[in-house]
């Protein structure tokens, strides 16, 4: 194996993937803003994936045989605010890199989302019709199609994950942890359920999936589902906070942009490919705590370019 290219290398998934992948192979990060301390973050290339000229030939230039494409405008609000920029990065750049990987004979893994569904039913399979209700979800649906058209060997991973991030403010786990650590009470949505998984478990599953002959769409997520309220209470207990400080609230009373209520994903296809399930959503909290104790948040701060 000649290595991995990880786009979005300064984001939550990208930075964690680079740390984990580099324990065994060469892994090159790609980002528009490269961290200053190259010794601390390893090999990086500066590239603006929103620019067709800038991203041209990226896979060939880095000389890798695996591409993990995590870069995206990944918030519902960000996509609603600038749909043109979101389309260029989330759709066109994804199609372009998938085609580059196919031309170079490199494995291509595209990160999609549970937001391709409207969240009315839950327990979605890969073959269920998509039904996005946000600009972010609509862009990912289009990107999935274009990626697989450009690269039939690609893996499209629909995900929902949490973990420590370079900024310390990016994930559901950090949302609860930061507020509880400050001594404040915090609200958790009782009306939103997700199959969220710890980012380290996600990276391991993606690496294992890439080592098979799998192609197409996979739900790479926890085999169960949990409300954000229950997740927050479980996190509080895991880290020694009082779970009673997590208060039940409704997302519809807090959020302006619409989100799906029940976005639980079925993972039968992933189980068939890997021969196992990923840990349950709240079981990953033990790994979140272990990585905190081992200094993962401090290591990730080196990837923060702000």
- Domains parsed from the chain with CATH numbers: 4-167+194-224+265-285+295-301 (3.40.50.720)
**Helix, strand, or coil (residue 205):** helix
- Token look-up 């979101």 returns 86
Q: CB-based contacts of 292: which residues, under 8 Å, 6+ apart? A: 164
Give me the catalytic one of 102, 136, 198, 229. 136
- Phi first, then psi, for residue 107 (nearest 5°) are -70, 135
Pick from 69, 61, 15: nearest CA to 42: 15
**What is the Cα–Cα distance from 158 to 143, expressed in whole angstroms?**
12
Question: Do 219 and 226 form a contact (C-beta atoms < 8 A)?
Answer: no
127-146 pLDDT tens trace: 999 999 999 999 999 999 99
Confidence category of residue 1, pLDDT binned at 50, 70, 90: low
Structure tokens at 288: 């979140």
Alpha helices in 5-156 (DSSP H): 12-21, 38-41, 52-55, 58-62, 76-81, 83-87, 93-104, 135-150
Question: Do 159 and 284 form a contact (C-beta atoms < 8 A)?
Answer: no
Pick from 136, 116, 137: nearest CA to 126: 116
CA dihedral 12, 8, 157, 55 (to 10 degrees): 180
Pick 260 or 246 by higher pLDDT: 246
193-237 pLDDT tens trace: 999 999 999 999 999 999 999 999 999 999 899 999 999 999 999
Question: Do 218 and 277 form a contact (C-beta atoms < 8 A)?
Answer: no
102 is catalytic: no
Find the mean pLDDT for residues 259-273: 96
Residue 306: predicted pLDDT? 65
- Residue 84 scores a pLDDT above 80: yes
């Amino acid at each position: 194996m000649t290595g991995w290219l990880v786009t979005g290398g300064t984001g939550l998934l990208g930075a964690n993937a680079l740390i984990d992948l580099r324990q065994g192979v060469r892994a090159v990060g790609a980002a528009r803003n490269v961290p200053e301390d190259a010794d601390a973050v390893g090999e990086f290339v500066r590239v603006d994936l929103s620019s067709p000229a800038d991203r041209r030939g990226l896979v060939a230039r880095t000389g890798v045989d695996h591409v993990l494409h995590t870069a995206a405008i990944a918030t519902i609000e960000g996509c609603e605010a600038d749909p043109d920029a979101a389309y260029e990065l989330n759709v066109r750049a994804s199609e372009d890199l998938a085609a580059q990987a196919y031309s170079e004979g490199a494995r291509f893994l595209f990160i999609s989302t549970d937001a391709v569904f409207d969240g009315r039913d839950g327990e979605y399979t890969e073959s269920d019709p998509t039904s996005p209700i946000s600009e972010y979800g609509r862009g990912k649906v289009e990107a999935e199609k274009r990626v697989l058209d450009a690269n039939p060997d690609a893996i499209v991973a629909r995900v929902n994950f949490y973990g420590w991030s370079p900024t310390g403010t990016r994930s559901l786990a950090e949302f609860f942890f930061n507020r509880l650590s400050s001594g404040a009470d915090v609200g958790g949505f009782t009306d939103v359920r997700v199959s969220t998984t710890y980012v380290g478990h996600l990276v391991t599953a993606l690496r294992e999936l890439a080592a098979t002959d799998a192609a197409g769409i996979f739900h790479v997520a926890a085999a169960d589902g949990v409300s954000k309220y229950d997740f927050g209470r479980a996190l509080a207990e895991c880290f020694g906070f009082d779970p009673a400080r997590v208060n039940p609230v409704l997302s519809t009373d807090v959020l302006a942009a619409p989100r799906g209520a029940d976005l639980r994903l079925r993972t039968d296809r992933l189980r068939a490919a890997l021969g196992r399930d990923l840990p349950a959503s709240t079981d990953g909290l033990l790994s979140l705590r272990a990585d905190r104790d081992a200094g993962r948040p401090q290591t990730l701060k080196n990837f923060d370019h702000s």
